[in-house]
Chains A and B, each alone.
Chain A
Amino acid sequence: MAINIKFSEKTFQNKRREPSEYAEIALELRRDVIKSLYLAKSGHSGGSLGTADIFSVLYFGGIMRYRPEEPYWKERDRFVLSAGHLAPILYATLARAGYLEPSELSTLRKYNSRLQGHPGIDHHLPGLETSSGSLGQGISIAVGMAMSDKYLDKTDRRVFCLTGDGELQEGICWEAAMCAGHYKLDNLCWIVDSNDCQIDGRVRDVMSIYPLADKFRAFNFEVVEIDGHNYEEIQSAFDKFIDYHTHNNGKPFVIIANTFMGKGVSFMHDSYKWHGNPPNEEQAIKALEELGEIVELL
């Protein structure tokens, strides 16, 4: 048995939407994640699925300002994927935003692909702002970008950055947090994918990072805690950030998004075993079915 994997050609506009409109986008992204990881035969399913709702709102809800046809537009907002292993969801998002052909998602993790296992700037993928994959470094890069925007270029550009929660065990995250608070980086929006999963188990068992919101507050952050699968909550959290930034409230912003690893695929749901595995053929068929697509058998 073999299956015929096809990527639709659909792209989505970046515009203000009703919360109910995101479901369709998130489904497409989740299908892309499953397909590209199945074809790659390695890679990280769990977190890529778990953050699909956040990506849907961030890139397709008129939150981030970008131009796929002009990727290096000087006034664009920037996104940094500090959790570099979640590359599949970023690549799917960039494809659906129009930075690349969705069919290119089939080259994930292959030799010479622009879609490296962890984001690699040396492969010139439009829409990608930095290499990442060594946990913790991305958020610190994002702080550097935000400092440049706020103090040197004096623009109103914004920097968005997504880290995992296990990732917060890296000391550099808290060095970056201290710096963001110290320099009042109200142009920085840090999103934590809080799924209580990492490779070896539950974050609370491997090395507890809790209480989390209080830690950020202690570093002078504006903290919002949301259900990371509720479009209304995601949207209003981003709205709040933009409002605070527009009014120069002088505080960096963090969204603690409570999510489930593997969200959308029943057998991956909330299971840390799916942190770093791709679906096999049978699993891909089942996952895609749950995500609303019946795959063609060859």
Chain B
Amino acid sequence: MDIQEYFSLVFSDYTLRTITLGTAILGAVTGMLGSFAVLRKQSLLGDAISHAALPGIAISFLITGAKDSNTLLLGALVSGLIGTFWIRGIITKTHLKSDTALGLILSLFFGFGMLLLTFIQKQPNANQAGLDKYLFGQAATLVESDVWMMAIVTGICLFVLLLFWKEFKILLFDKDYAKTLGFNTKTIDILITSFIVLAIVLGLQTVGVVLMSAMLLAPAAAARQWTNSLATMVFLAALFGAFSGVFGTAISASQNNLSTGPVIVLVAAVFVFISFIFSPSRGLLFKQIRFIKNRRDLQLHKTLAFMYNIAETHDDISHPHEIKILNNFQGFTKGTLKKLVEKNYVTLQGSTWSLTNEGFKSASNLYNQLTKNDE
């Protein structure tokens, strides 16, 4: 199947539709919530939570023997939450740095989870459980009820987000200040974190423990490059996340069923890459272009100002000058003069250059302009 075929099938084929819808919703909700994690500089949190969820899946299987994803993910949710609150506890009670606490919980829970998984593998009916799919995810196992679950959680999440938008914003920007205004920052904090845990757990089946945090971070990091408004950022992150889900699924379905989770993450990474280079205000490319342009403008202005200063000492403003005189700073005067000729600020007669009326006027405006440009 090639990509075109995929898009023609996606509406009619039940499996494809389910998977595509699932990954799109998942991308949207993780992108949305990922914005908060990124802005709180808790990039590692997602990684810690997803790894902390693994033992929950294993324990849930050991206790219930169930294979359906909802039961297993409930276990993941519980152990993910426990991990998260231990992290909080470690940070507030001891004085370990937060990355230490995150790393500690991540490795502790993941190690324990792996231990349990190997133990389960040795059990007689273990391979039927297919628990290892939660390591790297397996989008193909998504069924309609999973997608409904994701849609409902996303809906609730969106509702809460809109309801407490103002509270979330002030908590993200200035927590102490929010506290002095009487907001219970702990409640808001727990609310955000719980939703992040929930979104991660929802993604485990599709993307897996190992790569889940990328779903949280990549769309948000990409979105941050394009806007200076929180609302737009959250919206864009959701959009990028959803697109990553759809494209990722399309590519993996059309390429001999490449593993979906990693492909989705790679597509998200492409969004990040493009955003970091091409974003107009923060991207590397335009920064460089602006830098070069600013330098060139400055050179033009300097040359013009220099000629203006000489012209002021003469009665005739168009008094011609040899390049030797003008060339008193570095070697770039000739090129700059040519540009000024193009702009009609300077004329060239033989080997001498002289300021035009227009150039004189523009030069005298220069200082005003330079100061006014600020706003």
Indicate, yes or no, whether A interacts with B. no
